[in-house]
A and B are shown apart, each in its own frame.
Chain A
């Protein structure tokens, strides 16, 4: 429709010229990129007089009056009205919006957003572009309703994130979504995708949109599309440099505090080294020694454009991170070629290819050790060398810094290539065939040597580890499309037949007992003992899929899909699964009876129902397996095996059925728009990693049994509350919650205590004895459930009141499932300046905090958090006394792990074109970003988000960056 309109404008141009008296000239630029926009429609308001911008974003328009209002608009941008008062050159900035008219990538194709019937969310591109992400997952956190990203551990690579779309479905199988990069399933290691190459990210959340990925869609699908070339060829540089520092350093005991603590807990156990250090006033802060100021930088150069029939995007990028943990490094070199060539009217071919080298060499200090290490011991000898045994009286304790002395090389090479060929059949309009092939090949080699200057090496006379892994994923997809309009009927048909094959090999070798350290890991021939661990997996998937999209008059929408998958990893009788879905949509705003409501531009109701699978158990899980258990014949190896797993011949698909109701709306000319989705999903044939009675001789088995349910609500809102004379305040916010519960288990409705699975409860619960304060002087201890307790001992809640503390007193403590999560992005922009503040929050989570529990071992050989203990003089109720018998029942400390994090603050400036053009640039913008600047929480551990509380701390990052268009 718009094209037609544009054509009309073009045709009417000569006519308009005849009557022209005044010529307006100007240019249109993108607000975000400060780059010229090509093909923007410029229309004199109230007339049919208009034009399009040229290759340089420039336009000129003749008007018949001396004053006029011009309207500039283009797909994907907010239309803009400008007053022309008869003077000078106009510069119009267009702000891109999450316009409902934009085209959204869906599985195996793309669709107009207004035609979509499922729940699909897109990441604002700014989240990708103007924050220094080392991987794309960081950009997703808090950005989309219903998707929960948890950073499990910190570090240079920062890729240990769990991604959960709409809660956990599966108990045992992976809950991570399927990632599709340029149409091809992406195997592993998200850090090896360069985020600056990404043009868009879409998340398919409901059954209908994910159903086309069938057996792998039940945890949602993330579609990543890399940049394409368009317009005039141009060279772009973007990059940043930044500093990393510790966001939160827990307060451990100093040497002096540790000494006093130890004297109270276990008098007379101070050793000579501790005594000497105490007397000399020495105290070693092991966390300080294990950390440093980190540094982070990325530089990307790209060329993109479209020349004749060739569109291209070529980039080269370097990412370097020196993490806050000493010796924690990441270097990524990557290059991308995205080229599409039109060979004939009916034939085009192309490739989207990334080559990368990721270097993770270097082993960071051991943080678990650093948190626990006695502060009254010495890290270095008098020459400044790292001591093998910081505590000579107790050589069990290795130096937490020992790993930094290891020689470690770790390189990963990857080719990820998607190649396609498209045939638009000349004999039938709308019919097309596409061949899509994908290759992902990764080879990672690691070599490590621990010499005699480390405890690891000293105990075995040098230890060399060599590990080589290869991963190969091949995919071939045959796709047939038929898209055609028949009057008001629009029909889209997609058919798929695909094969995918994954092969993984892992060969690792360990050698010990070397005569010398010099040859490091290149001396296996002189090893005293070589052990190896080798693994290989191969799995194949064969699929057929069909999809019908039908719409009538853009008002009534229907999507039908069905997918059949076969997976080699399942038992003989259950290899294939069929996953259907149906979805309908109604664009209410298009109805005639709402025409009068000018302020309403979009109102759409969506309803979908469908099934997905989860195949995410590894290959060979259905077979009984034996484990190596060698013995000896004299002094020689006697190869041996023992049973280690049970067979599971009926292992099959896990199946999730989801119903989704959603509303999309846009009002006040798009200044307030959003989506609300309500969903309910039920997962049957759960893949369970089930603990069984150890009388079997095996303690776990993978099985399909049970049902879980997820219910939730997701709200995403974009608004522009304020827009006056160049100043704009825009908000993107999202809010979601998910309620997960187990419906049934192995024995129908019996709770499974050993696995901590309870009917009606979420999959993950805190189920434990309850720490109920501290026994105080005067309490009736003798008649309590803990008659042998003394004042100052931990009180355990006698839940069933039988005056006995035992397994019956375990109960639920809080919830590990958040009440809700949210993200809020505020952007204030004025004349090229822009300030973005992004907040992310998780609320209502209770977790065990191991850092809050002193775990100092017998004779106080480990450090702990500095804290107040119960004493007769200060009879607190929050922690027991400093006494080895104060917590014999092992009460654990649970805390509220809710938090609000100031995730990103970005201040940027786009130089005006007239300044930029003076230095012969097409565009220039600079920014400063701060990440993880502040976290609001009651959690007393390292970080409420990290899974281990004695690990590399979360980093605070401040970067400055620039983007230059030449």
Chain B
């Protein structure tokens, strides 16, 4: 090659280089990332936002570390009360059985639950703030329904937060990109005023009956409003809201057998807890709100561990060194029995009350082990193994020999030993609305009416009717336990009625003996939240 070639060569090269330049070389156009700007453009986008919000809310019944199958998220509302404790000597079980030095602001449980609730708040705030975008083309009605659902769930999150922690930061804005290090704890009264506004809005704009199973309707907002008014001492308004739910016409108590196991022995009260029976379309007229789950469907995995937490670990029951009860579908799948009723809670039921009988509780198991080596001498398959709970002095904290509730039995269809479950579940039901009504009526001096409200529930459970003279706050609390054990946020009810210390001390042989009547009424603010509030001191709850 001659030198002249080098010039031609370079000229061509130069042209290629220049042709290769692009102006948009540094622009980012992610093909797979969804941002708030791209999602909240139209009604479908907002529906997707609501779906995400429901999926978050459903985590109430999952593990506290989302996706893990341990440490039920809602534990704090259930155990460490007069009617429930942990039959479990570790983790959250020890935390709520023993409190004391275990209950520190550094405990991961407090942090995880708090984080989850504020994620709900932020997801709701994002929908609420962005729905006001004037560029969205949608009917006012549709917008208000979306707002109604999001505001109802935001208030729902603050209900949890205020009952557990008292004053908490009231965050009503979507977390955009401004980072705050000076959060202030808003007084409970101010938060409740906001919750009232949110629920009133939802009441106005949500339908009587949800269009899709598992979504919110007007009655959910009314139910929570009734409870809120009780907390505020507005008993007349509480009564009105409770009656609005009861008189809606679309909802009624289950008083007859129905559904997939109607022909098998059972009780009407328990039918709605059977897989396949919990939704309205399946005949459940009592449910105000259900959680939706589904096996092998995207969106169906809720990491729900109610069975794991409430069904007894019967498979470790011992007779002469053998474990004769095998994990099976009939036994409700594999449970760990982490949470159990206090002795007081079991003994609350009068004779004949379906809610305390064998269809609602396991007091015995049928020997069934397929490995004959596990059948003890003198026993055989089909024999009934009664649980000797009456002779135990205190509630056990690591024994399977204790009754367990049957509301959450639900074997995993793929594997009876699996941890999670996929049955749709009743979350809020009319039965509780009757009890809210009774409380309002009692406080308004209408004991006769209160007794009647309670008798609706007692009648359908075959319990003996009561009279006005029987009704007082303790009786209502007893009745709530009988009706709603493991469903009710028991701690909230007791705190609302200022009965938590008294009744837990009286009836819970574990936490009752150790609780600090001043400190333990509220949980400690997670240390991380205090630590991250670097520009303003955030006060801790007293005693921690």
Chain A residues closer than 8 Å to B531, beta-carbon distance: 752-754, 807
Chain B residues closer than 8 Å to A806, beta-carbon distance: 104-105, 544
Closest Cβ of chain B to A437, distance in Å, is 11
Is A633 interfacial (CB-CB < 8 Å)? yes
Is A694 interfacial (CB-CB < 8 Å)? yes
Q: Is A542 touching B25 in the complex (CB atoms < 8 A)?
A: yes
Is B34 interfacial (CB-CB < 8 Å)? yes
Q: Is A499 touching B28 in the complex (CB atoms < 8 A)?
A: no
CA distance A423 to B12 in the complex (A): 13
Q: Is A395 touching B171 in the complex (CB atoms < 8 A)?
A: no
Chain A residues closer than 8 Å to B464, beta-carbon distance: none
Segment at the interface with B among A32-40, A528-536, A665-673, A896-904: A528-536
Give per-residue flags for B3-34: 1 if the beta carbon is below 8 A from chain A beta carbons, else 0. Answer: 10110011001000100100001111011111
Q: Is B296 touching A529 in the complex (CB atoms < 8 A)?
A: yes
Q: Given that A575-B26, A633-B212, A635-B297 are contacting pairs, would A693 and B177 also be in contact in the complex, using a CB cutoff of 8 Å?
A: no
Chain A residues closer than 8 Å to B54, beta-carbon distance: 631, 640
CA distance A430 to B298 in the complex (A): 66
Q: Given that A461-B415, A630-B51, A632-B214 are contacting pairs, would A693 and B101 also be in contact in the complex, using a CB cutoff of 8 Å?
A: no
Is A692 interfacial (CB-CB < 8 Å)? yes
Q: Is A476 touching B3 in the complex (CB atoms < 8 A)?
A: no
CA distance A934 to B387 in the complex (A): 58
Of all chain B residues, the one with the shortest Cβ separation from A699 is B115
Is B323 interfacial (CB-CB < 8 Å)? yes
Is B469 interfacial (CB-CB < 8 Å)? no
**Most chain A beta-carbon neighbours within 10 Å: one of B10, B105, B316:** B316
Is B534 interfacial (CB-CB < 8 Å)? yes
Chain A residues closer than 8 Å to B415, beta-carbon distance: 458-461
Of all chain B residues, the one with the shortest Cβ separation from A500 is B25
Of all chain B residues, the one with the shortest Cβ separation from A396 is B419
Q: Given that A536-B32, A640-B50, A693-B529 are contacting pairs, would A347 and B1 also be in contact in the complex, using a CB cutoff of 8 Å?
A: yes
Is A3 interfacial (CB-CB < 8 Å)? no
Within 8 A of B (CB), among A627-661: 627-643, 646-649
Q: Is A696 touching B118 in the complex (CB atoms < 8 A)?
A: yes
Chain B residues closer than 8 Å to A460, beta-carbon distance: 414-415, 418
Of all chain A residues, the one with the shortest Cβ separation from B120 is A697
Segment at the interface with A among B122-130, B228-236, B357-365, B403-411: B122-130
Q: Is B101 touching A786 in the complex (CB atoms < 8 A)?
A: yes
Q: Is A631 touching B181 in the complex (CB atoms < 8 A)?
A: no
Is B252 interfacial (CB-CB < 8 Å)? no
Q: Is A393 touching B315 in the complex (CB atoms < 8 A)?
A: yes
Is A592 interfacial (CB-CB < 8 Å)? no
Indicate which residue in A272, A626, A631, A649 contacts B374 across the interface (CB closer than 8 Å): A272
Closest Cβ of chain B to A340, distance in Å, is 17
Is B382 interfacial (CB-CB < 8 Å)? no
Is B175 interfacial (CB-CB < 8 Å)? yes
Q: Given that A435-B13, A643-B36, A859-B398 are contacting pairs, would A697 and B175 also be in contact in the complex, using a CB cutoff of 8 Å?
A: yes
Closest Cβ of chain B to A538, distance in Å, is 8
Q: Given that A458-B415, A569-B28 are contacting pairs, would A788 and B52 also be in contact in the complex, using a CB cutoff of 8 Å?
A: no
Q: Is B528 touching A754 in the complex (CB atoms < 8 A)?
A: yes
CA distance A567 to B26 in the complex (A): 6
Indicate which residue in A534, A641, A747, A888 contacts B535 across the interface (CB closer than 8 Å): A747
Q: Is B171 touching A695 in the complex (CB atoms < 8 A)?
A: yes
Q: Is A694 touching B526 in the complex (CB atoms < 8 A)?
A: yes
Indicate which residue in A628, A646, A859 contacts B177 across the interface (CB closer than 8 Å): A646
Indicate which residue in A344, A536, A693 contacts B533 across the interface (CB closer than 8 Å): A693
Chain B residues closer than 8 Å to A458, beta-carbon distance: 415
CA distance A529 to B105 in the complex (A): 41
Q: Is A643 touching B123 in the complex (CB atoms < 8 A)?
A: yes
Of all chain B residues, the one with the shortest Cβ separation from A789 is B101
Q: Is A631 touching B296 in the complex (CB atoms < 8 A)?
A: no
Chain B residues closer than 8 Å to A344, beta-carbon distance: 1, 5-6
Indicate which residue in A476, A627, A638, A693 contacts B181 across the interface (CB closer than 8 Å): A693
Is A805 interfacial (CB-CB < 8 Å)? yes
CA distance A264 to B26 in the complex (A): 65
Of all chain A residues, the one with the shortest Cβ separation from B53 is A642
Closest Cβ of chain B to A50, distance in Å, is 38
Chain B residues closer than 8 Å to A632, beta-carbon distance: 214, 292-294, 297, 299-300
Q: Given that A635-B294, A696-B179 are contacting pairs, would A640 and B26 also be in contact in the complex, using a CB cutoff of 8 Å?
A: no
Chain A residues closer than 8 Å to B6, beta-carbon distance: 344, 346-347, 423, 425-426
Of all chain B residues, the one with the shortest Cβ separation from A567 is B26
Chain B residues closer than 8 Å to A754, beta-carbon distance: 528, 531-532
**Most chain A beta-carbon neighbours within 10 Å: one of B26, B54, B297:** B26
Q: Is B51 touching A640 in the complex (CB atoms < 8 A)?
A: yes
Q: Is B177 touching A648 in the complex (CB atoms < 8 A)?
A: yes
Closest Cβ of chain A to B416, distance in Å, is 10
Is B100 interfacial (CB-CB < 8 Å)? yes
Within 8 A of B (CB), among A878-915: 884, 888-889
Q: Is A642 touching B298 in the complex (CB atoms < 8 A)?
A: no
Of all chain A residues, the one with the shortest Cβ separation from B29 is A538
Is B519 interfacial (CB-CB < 8 Å)? no
Is B285 interfacial (CB-CB < 8 Å)? no
Is B213 interfacial (CB-CB < 8 Å)? yes
Closest Cβ of chain A to B520, distance in Å, is 15
Q: Given that A461-B415, A620-B30, A626-B35 are contacting pairs, would A640 and B104 also be in contact in the complex, using a CB cutoff of 8 Å?
A: no
Is B309 interfacial (CB-CB < 8 Å)? no
CA distance A568 to B25 in the complex (A): 8
Closest Cβ of chain B to A566, distance in Å, is 5
Q: Is B176 touching A647 in the complex (CB atoms < 8 A)?
A: yes
Within 8 A of B (CB), among A753-779: 753-754
Q: Is B55 touching A788 in the complex (CB atoms < 8 A)?
A: no
Chain A residues closer than 8 Å to B111, beta-carbon distance: 694
CA distance A392 to B533 in the complex (A): 49
Q: Is B25 touching A807 in the complex (CB atoms < 8 A)?
A: no
Chain A residues closer than 8 Å to B94, beta-carbon distance: 884, 888
Closest Cβ of chain A to B222, distance in Å, is 23
Of all chain B residues, the one with the shortest Cβ separation from A641 is B52
Closest Cβ of chain B to A274, distance in Å, is 11
Give per-residue flags for A260-284: 1 if the beta carbon is below 8 A from chain B beta carbons, else 0. Answer: 0000001001011001000000000
Closest Cβ of chain A to B320, distance in Å, is 10
Closest Cβ of chain A to B264, distance in Å, is 24
Closest Cβ of chain A to B54, distance in Å, is 5
Chain B residues closer than 8 Å to A807, beta-carbon distance: 104-106, 527, 530-531
Is B348 interfacial (CB-CB < 8 Å)? no
Is A112 interfacial (CB-CB < 8 Å)? no
Indicate which residue in B102, B118, B300 contacts A694 across the interface (CB closer than 8 Å): B118
Is B473 interfacial (CB-CB < 8 Å)? no
Q: Is A634 touching B126 in the complex (CB atoms < 8 A)?
A: no
CA distance A641 to B127 in the complex (A): 11
Closest Cβ of chain B to A31, distance in Å, is 43
CA distance A624 to B25 in the complex (A): 22
Within 8 A of A (CB), among B84-129: 88-91, 93-94, 100-102, 104-106, 111, 114-115, 118-123, 125-126
Is A623 interfacial (CB-CB < 8 Å)? yes
Is B183 interfacial (CB-CB < 8 Å)? yes
Is B445 interfacial (CB-CB < 8 Å)? no
Closest Cβ of chain A to B69, distance in Å, is 9
Q: Is B171 touching A269 in the complex (CB atoms < 8 A)?
A: no
Q: Given that A344-B1, A888-B102 are contacting pairs, would A638 and B299 also be in contact in the complex, using a CB cutoff of 8 Å?
A: yes
8 further interface pairs, Cβ-Cβ under 8 Å (given A536-B32, A752-B531):
A542-B26, A619-B28, A626-B36, A635-B297, A640-B48, A646-B177, A747-B181, A788-B101
A residues near B (Cβ < 8 Å) are 266, 269, 271-272, 275, 343-344, 346-347, 392-396, 423, 425-427, 433, 435, 458-461, 476, 478, 499, 512-513, 528-529, 531, 534-538, 540, 542, 566-569, 575, 619-620, 623-643, 646-649, 690-699, 701, 703, 746-747, 750-754, 786, 788, 805-807, 857-859, 884, 888-889
Top 6 nearest A-B pairs (CB, nearest first) are: A697-B122, A640-B51, A630-B299, A858-B90, A753-B531, A642-B52
Offer 13 A-B interface pairs, CB within 8 angstroms, sorted by A. Answer: A619-B30, A632-B294, A637-B298, A640-B53, A641-B48, A646-B175, A646-B177, A693-B183, A695-B118, A753-B534, A754-B532, A807-B104, A858-B88
